[in-house]
Amino acid sequence: MENENPFAGFNPQLKQTGVFIDRSFNKASYDDLAVKYDVTPHAAIKIYYTATRRLFEVLEAMDGKRDMRNLDHRKKRVEERSRSLPKGQRWFLLNKLFGLSALIRKYGNVLSV
């Protein structure tokens, strides 16, 4: 007897989540996924692979197999990538998107914005 789909009433907002649920629990083919999500079958394969990889990262973290060094490494990578943004884009993100205009006025020279 197969397990019942635990996501039967769930309506995913992200394409990646929908592809994963449809492929894993509804046994949809990649061709069917391609039609449903308006992508190519090859793109459906890539989306499913990425979703599976992300799910395993979460499961490993829940299982305690990932140590804090990996999280620190990720934080450093994000910091490195955001430093490569042009000064204007950093200013826009901090000021307009996150509403940190007071922070920019006070610490703008430290933040290089």
Residues 49 and 80 in one domain: no
Radius of gyration from C-alpha coordinates of the chain: 20
Residues 55 and 88 in one domain: no
Domain for residue 5, yes or no?
Answer: no
For 22, the domain range is 15-63
Residues 19 and 59 in one domain: yes
Domain for residue 8, yes or no?
Answer: no
Distance CA 27, CA 2 (A): 12
Query: Between 33 and 99, where is the model more confident?
Result: 33
pLDDT(9) > 80:
no
Instruction: Please count the CA atoms within 13 angstroms of the CA of 35 that sit on its side-chain side.
Output: 4
> 39-89, pLDDT tens digit by residue?
999 999 999 999 999 988 888 877 776 565 666 777 777 777 766 677 777
Overall size of the chain counted in residues: 113
Contact present, 91 and 113 (Cβ < 8 Å): yes
- Whole-prediction pTM: 0.53
Question: What are 14's two structure tokens?
Answer: 């992200």
Q: How many domains, the chain?
A: 2
